Structure 1
């Protein structure tokens, strides 16, 4: 589709130095010299291979009712396979794999019942997906996609196999539509913000939206959250049509080699699923769990 929490690990401060020297004071030996202040250790930034991700245990408020989540693996109807990744995988296949993994992990928590929009080899019309979610009385409609951003160049991913590549705009985004009235509009944006907050807190990078100008408007207080601003008549059906809270999660930039590689790893799927689970609880609950701060890079983590 187009375009744990860290704290500084500070050393103990050096002893105070008198404002003026004391006469005849003995010179300090090498062993008595004040050690240099330790600089905070830097952590690699997402999507580096060693960038830290955190899968936090799910926190559920008392009395939380099991929620029905309609999980849509983006694209996959007729000839619409979405983008083609930096390693020449279609978005439809990639997102089906991610959706199947996420569905299994959400249900394993015991707090969600999940229905997938499609299975391998099955084509389901997009309007059918919306009507299925509504008739099932879903508490949320979550559609998974990957982005294709910026000006890409061809490269040879494998001998004789050329794909597009663009390594400068990684990150996730959560999209929603304000093309409805309250209370549904408020429920949509609450869900979008809850999901984005938890995905960011897990260590994923929120996309800055540089290629979204004129298409989506960023939320100034919630990194990674964007509202649909396509021209009327061109706005995203999966965002505006469902009569249940609906969002699209752009999981990553499919043309970024490092980020695409991270989304093949089990640790990425595990951290993503834990973040989505908590984001759903936060976004669909009357008493959400305390908000987690966004993960930071550049300082050492202390658990």
Structure 2
């Protein structure tokens, strides 16, 4: 953060943030995770966080301020390095200024109450990329909004805030593992005629065993034997089971036998354009109450798709370092493709290529029980991390 911009933030924030000594709560965690156009900020506190969210702009530099006049960030708060649109953040008394790499707006803000698993209150703020002109226009309006909020006359940008009840802590997360190919479709083949459909089924079964052993998840396989299942049915299974995460497991092939390692795919921009049509054709519409206007249905659908895309990318970024610890990964290992099994509008999904069957070392690794177990453990660890972050607490090992 440049010195001039930091001084600008201090001028804006110091008086109102540092002036209140009668505090109601303490922020114990600040998390910023994002990828591409979407970023999520999460604050955790011992009390409900009365907050305002505002845009700040000065000489072409931009920030998002979250003001919480009744709380402070604790001296022992967990504050990992940010990713996504946030390059850094400044903690100053009763607020945080998040310095941005590009213009964003708040697409949603959720206040989540305590659960038995996590007694903290959480504020989750989702940001989406917008044009600089749009950001600067909002920042100009926010000058007065913010002054009203900090003086106690306003409640912040209410149009961006909705309350969401936390799910019961006892509910197990539903994981759907999709072993690719099967039956008449063998997938790729190795030099020793090892078939992709066999390798990915064995790896998927190892992953299910590891997840079942934790007791934290309900785990389904789209196939548990050598059966072919249409792509549409694989996605429908995940939705019907209420999947919180869908992982399609495959093995790759290349013309160059030296290419090796794992790859993680999320949905491409071209695929995003197919979501609505595919969902309509397959009956994957979101459940809404009868009589809901089409305008509201459209808004809810758009929010859900944005959240699905964000969470898919967040999980992909968590999965890659785990896979790197279990074996080789390809260069630019998070890629985007127009794969059908990634098209559900409401289920975060990735497709994992666990190695190349055209590479002898990958074949040896994936043909061994030890190699498959290491890959399965890597995916399981990423799942634990992903859902631990969603719950606002540290993963249980």
TM tier relative to shorter chain: 0.5 to 0.7
The correspondence of residues 157-176 of structure 1 with structure 2, limited to 5 A, is 166=257, 168-176=258-266
- Of residues 237, 241, 246, the one that matches 1:141 is 246
The residue number in structure 2 matching 1:129 is 234
1:274 and 2:397 correspond: no
Q: Secondary structure at the match of 2:306?
A: coil
Deviations 1:167-186 (A, max 9, x none): x1111011101426411110
Change (3 A) 1:120 1:141: same
Q: Residue in 1 aligned with 2:218?
A: 113
Q: Distance in 2 between matches of 1:121 and 1:236?
A: 22
Change (3 A) 1:182 1:242: closer
Structure 2 unaligned regions, length at least 5: 1-116, 119-168, 276-304
Could you tell me how far apart the structure 2 residues matched to 1:241 and 1:92 are?
Answer: 23
Counterpart in the other structure of 2:357: 254
Partner SS, residue 127 of structure 1 = helix
1:146–1:252 CA contact under 8 A, matched in 2: yes
**SS, match of residue 312 in structure 2:** helix
More helix by share: 2
CA contact (8 A) 2:326 2:378 kept: no
> Is 2:195 the partner of 1:90?
yes
Q: Distance in 2 between matches of 1:137 and 1:69?
A: 9
**2:307 aligned to 179, 183, 187, which one?**
183
Counterpart of 1:103 in structure 2 is 208
Counterpart-to-counterpart distance in 1, 2:346 and 2:181: 20
1:288–1:254 CA distance, 2 compared to 1 (3 A): farther
Number of residue equivalences:
193
1:197 aligns with 2:321: yes
- CA distance 1:112–1:274, shift in 2 (3 Å): same
Q: Distance in 2 between matches of 1:289 and 1:171?
A: 29
Structure-2 change in CA distance of 1:80 and 1:242 (3 Å): farther
Distance 1:261 1:145 in 2: 16
- Which is richer in strand? 2
**1:150-173 deviations in Å (ceiling 9; x for gaps):** 24xxxxxxxxxxxxxx2x111101
> Following the alignment from structure 2 to structure 1, what is the Cα–Cα distance between the partners of residues 190 and 367?
12
Farther off after superposition, 280-289 or 240-249: 280-289
Matches within 5 A, 1:1-303: 63=118, 66-76=172-182, 79-151=184-256, 166=257, 168-178=258-268, 179=272, 181-200=305-324, 202-208=325-331, 218=332, 224-228=333-337, 235-241=338-344, 243-284=346-387, 285-286=389-390, 287=392, 289=394
- Per-residue deviation at 1:289? 4.5
**Cα offset for 1:80?**
2.1
Deviation at 1:123, TM superposition (A): 3.0
